[in-house]
Amino acid sequence: MLDIKFIRDNADKVKKAIADKKIGLDLDELLDLDAKRRDLITELESLQALKNQISKEFPKLSAGEKKTKLLEIEEVDGKTGSLKLRLESVLEDYENLMCKVPTIPAADTPPGNDERGNVEVSKWGKIREFDFPLKDHITLGKDLDILDLDRGAKVGGYRGYYIKNDGVLLMMGFLFHALKKMSAKGFSPMIPPTLVKQFALFGSGYFKGRDYSPDTDEIYMVGSPDIDETGKASKEKKFLVGTAEPSILAYYAGEVLESAQLPMRNSGFSQCYRSEIGSYGKDTKGIYRVHEFMKIEQVILAPANIEAADALQQEMLSISKELHEELGLPYRVLRICAGDLGAGKYKQFDMEAWIPSRNAYGETGSSSNFLDWQSRRLNVKYKTQTGEKKYVYMLNNTALPSPRIFIAILENYQQKDGSVVVPEILRPYVGKDVIK
């Protein structure tokens, strides 16, 4: 969410961002509602000032004058009630549009209408050439008895899966390795809630609008009612998070931090849930695209300084690169173009690891800088050394996700005899050099 004064003063730039990001928003309509909102607030303040003045004079008046003034107060109350109803209606429409206003992308954001406009900015590792018939992760997982998709579908439904035996040690090994590295890099570890209130997901930008919509938001809403501390059913909606980011950001909601605390680095381990409603028909086989998985997430709260935030984003990316390199997985980094950039994002980079069966790179992480778009929604500020209160800048990045790293390791490390070599750094976790 942007500051309305900034929107008024930079309407042309905001309109361009709306067009570039293909947001369904008429900015002129929003500005018109803003003008109506301000006019109504001014009228209400004038009426309240008049009522206060009458109340102040009231004790000094005669009985006849008091009767007249009471009629005036009654008239003021009537007008006030009518204006409040009008303001309530205007505010409803105003807030629905305000939450759609996008962050203006960084000036050096590549142009482009969709993912085809994303630009490769770096690449690492040599892509392996196989001298035997290549197996995909589905075949490898079944043959090695570390992945069961049939029973996964039987129990969990479409996109369900079981990780088994040495596969569990492998997966938990690289996740724990990532968590340890994040801690060594100064990121405080967290296991945050995965069942959260609506404000956490709206605040972090995981709803397309003000409220949850099952038609557009790739989020699971919990159907059964929650029970509050009194034992009564709560009417508050609960949701499953798609990443640890919303829970970690909401941890600081409504707080004012000290500048000395920033930048504040957190890493979160969580189960992640995604409905994938926008990916119908895509990647229907295997575990490349699933409804639930695990992930280590990086989250930073930074001072309101773009140069500092850019440096912190690169710091997070460097950790993800280091993790991929330690696992021996060839990767590339993409700079995301304007047309593929989310509404709240100022700058984004994606990490992609090489997946042999796809003969292509596959996304294994995303690094985003939101500036103060999320912190305004969550009301997270910090006090500068001069005592001024500012909204923090919020950034996030994937350290490692479970399924796609699992896929990349199996396929890149497969051997002619059908076994999979365990990356050296993970052998202490798996307890062996080769999965047979």
* Catalytic residue IDs: 274, 289, 363, 366, 404
**Dihedral angle over CA of 273, 193, 390, 343, nearest 10:** 10
Distance between alpha carbon 414 and the CA centroid of its chain, in Å? 34
Give the Å distances, CA to CA, from 31 to 24, 83, 85, 371: 15, 19, 20, 23
Alpha-carbon gap, residue 322 to 391, rounded angstroms: 31
Cβ atoms 373, 103 nearer than 8 A: yes
Query: Which residue is it, tokens 């090489």?
Result: 354
CA atoms within 13 A on the CB side of 284: 4
